[in-house]
Amino acid sequence: MAGQIPQPIRCKAAVCRAAGEPLAVEEIVVDPPKAHEVRIKIVCTSLCHSDVTFWRMQDFPGVFPRIFGHEAFG
């Protein structure tokens, strides 16, 4: 789609608001790609061991809210 100006999109994501809290499926807004970035459609992703570890770490000053799942495929 050459020549089109990228727009923000809405999609669903499992969001974690704080360590140990349940994930909540929410609609989020994703900004358009910046220079040297691309937008791809993700069909699904998984939570790996490091995702689960950071999710459960009560004493770690993690970044929240957070969307886990960096091992995407589809």
In the prediction, which pLDDT does 33 show? 94
pLDDT in tens, 48-73: 998 888 888 877 777 889 998 888 87
pLDDT at 1 over 60: no
Residue 48 belongs to a domain: yes
In a domain, 33, yes or no: yes
Q: Count of domains in the chain?
A: 1
Q: Is residue 3 part of a domain?
A: no
For the chain, the three-class secondary structure string (H helix, E strand, C coil) is: CCCCCCCCEEEEEEEECCCCCCCEEEEEEECCCCCCCCCCCCCEEECCHHHHHHHHCCCCCCCCCEECCCEEEC
Asked if the structure places residue 1 within a domain, the reply is no
In a domain, 30, yes or no: yes
- Indicate the pTM of the whole model: 0.75
Query: What domain range includes position 33?
Result: 9-73
